[in-house]
A and B are shown apart, each in its own frame.
Chain A
Amino acid sequence: MSAPAVTAGFGGASSATVATTAPSGRGPAPVRIVVAYGFWIFLLSDIIMFSALFATYAVLSGQTDGGPSGRDLFELHRVGVQTLCLLFSSYTCGLGILALERRHLRAFYVSCALTFALGAAFLGLEISEFAGMVARGAGPSRSAFLSSFFSLVGLHGAHVTAGLLWLCFMLAQTAVKGPRDFVRRRLLCFSLFWHALDIIWVALMSLVYLMGAR
């Protein structure tokens, strides 16, 4: 038996056999693995960017300039509902990817619709929170604490918005092109992105809201 000649390139043109046979150390890994690994590196760099904003918030969280502090502003029941929305949407996203791998397209669409609905509910709650704070005169220009709060939480919200747009786009692509290799790779990257956003939200919930509301 000879070693399999592995010629999988990064262009996504690999056939099914090549995509499942490349062993590590013998030529390039399958495209699916290379793509997901590269996306994992991107997610880690994204988390490092968030860490800079977390550090800023941690330094500035006491600098309220006589304005409202977290204790006055944060509503924990809203944060709890937001946490549940994002957690369950992460769960349904994972189930959707599983369904897609098993080619259960109907279950995939249902899971993705749930993911989208829960993500949109999260975003709606966050926007109404921000609007309420600005209406109370606690906008980002009020104090250093609020500037850092709005940049940190707002950046996470912007990520969720981008994720929702990405999900719509991928649903359309799946509907038009079917569950082909490159579509499934992109959906895998989306699910990694969505899970990573949930991880960042856990840090936000504990370190910003729960500690700030005490």
Chain B
Amino acid sequence: MEAGVEQQSASIDQAPGVGDSETPGSVATYTAGLAFALLLTAASFIVSQTHLLWAPGIPAGLAVLAIAQMGVHLVFFLHIGTGPDNTNNVLALAFGVLIVTLVVSGSLWIMANLNVNMMPPSLIMEMQR
């Protein structure tokens, strides 16, 4: 019984934020995450304040750096990884990302469309007369 318990403990589900109950993450993981996050933050500030990047490409560069840093936080701080015992967490995350993408890109798309098709105020005044 006890031996079976030992074998099975390797295949249990994993909670976000904790490693296996025997090895609860490690200081090295957090320190590596901190170092990556600091690097990416510094890169964001440098990109936005200098002309290192082609100016019209700066928003895209900042978005890429932000997404990279969020990934670093997810992997090193929240321990959302690719292990087989992490499927539930990753699926929930994927669904969240899908909804966030729909909400943000959908809003921008619809509002830009409305803006373009909006009648100029002068014409509205014309019609009200």
Interface residues of A (CB under 8 A from B): 1-2, 4, 17, 20-24, 29-30, 32-33, 35-37, 39-41, 44-45, 47-48, 51-52, 54-56, 58-59, 76, 80, 83-84, 87-88, 90-91, 94-95, 97-98, 101-102, 188, 191-192, 195-196, 198-199, 202-203, 205-207, 210-211, 213-214
Contact indicator B18/A32 (Cβ below 8 Å): yes
B residues less than 8 Å from A94 (CB atoms): 25, 30, 77
- Quick one: closest B residue to A45, CB to CB? B96
Give the shortest distance, in Å, between B3 (CB) and chain A (any CB): 7
- In the complex, what residue of chain B is closest to A214 when comparing beta carbons? B48
B16 A40 Cβ-Cβ under 8 A: yes
Q: What chain A residues lie within 8 Å of B5 (beta carbons)? A: 4, 17, 20-21
Instruction: State A214–B55 Cα separation when bound (angstroms).
Output: 10
Main secondary structure of the interface of A (DSSP, over half): helix
- How far is A41 from B95 in the complex, measured between Cα atoms in Å? 10
Nearest CB in chain A: distance from B8 CB, A: 4
Residue in B closest to A52 when the chains form the complex, CB atoms:
B103
Task: From B5, B24, B77, name the one whose CB has the most chain A CB atoms within 10 angstroms.
Answer: B77
Q: How far is the CB of A151 from chain B (nearest CB, A)?
A: 15
Nearest B residue to A2 via CB reads B1
Question: Given the interface contacts A95-B27, A98-B26, A202-B70, does A207 sit within 8 Å of B63 by beta carbon?
Answer: yes
List 11 A-B residue pairs with CB atoms under 8 Å apart, sorted by A's residue number.
Answer: A20-B12, A23-B8, A36-B16, A39-B16, A41-B92, A48-B96, A51-B103, A58-B104, A192-B17, A198-B77, A199-B73
Contact B17 A191 (CB under 8 A): yes
Q: Which residues of B contact A40 (CB under 8 A)?
A: 15-16, 89, 92
Total number of B residues with any Cβ neighbor in A under 8 Å: 57
Q: Which of B16, B33, B93, B96 has the most CB of A within 10 A?
A: B16
The residue of chain A having its C-beta at the shortest distance from the C-beta of B74 within the complex is A199
Inter-chain contacts of B14 with A (CB < 8 A): 33
Residues of B within 8 A of A56 (CB): 107
* Chain B, 63-93, CB within 8 A of any chain A CB: 63, 65-66, 69-70, 73-74, 77-78, 85, 88-89, 92-93
Closest-CB distance, B58 to chain A (whole angstroms): 7
15 new A-B contacts, CB < 8 A, other than A4-B8, A83-B41, A98-B27, are A21-B5, A23-B12, A55-B106, A58-B104, A90-B73, A97-B24, A98-B26, A98-B30, A102-B24, A195-B73, A196-B78, A206-B65, A207-B63, A210-B45, A211-B62
**CB-CB under 8 A for A188 and B18, given A55-B108, A94-B30:** yes
Cβ of A202 and Cβ of B103 under 8 Å apart? no
